[in-house]
Amino acid sequence: MLDHVSVAVSDLKASADAYERVLDAAGLRRLVERPATVGFGKNYPEFWLNARPAVRPLPSDTGIHICLRVADEDAVRALHAEAMKAGWWDAGAPGPRQAAMTVYYAAFVQDPDGNKLEAATFPRKA
What is the average per-residue pLDDT within 24-48?
97
Q: What is the CATH number of domain 5-52+63-121?
A: 3.10.180.10
What is the average per-residue pLDDT within 93-114?
94
The mean pLDDT value of the chain amounts to 94
Choose among 25, 125, 10: nearest CA to 84. Answer: 25
pLDDT confidence band for 100 (50 / 70 / 90): confident
What is the average per-residue pLDDT within 47-74?
92
What is the average per-residue pLDDT within 41-45?
96
pTM of the model: 0.92
What is the average per-residue pLDDT within 64-87?
96
Residues sharing a CB contact under 8 Å with residue 27, sequence separation 6 or more, in sequence order: 42, 70, 71, 75
CB-count burial class (<10 Å; 0-12, 13-18, 19+) for 122: middle
Position 125 pLDDT exceeds 80:
no
Position 32 pLDDT exceeds 70:
yes
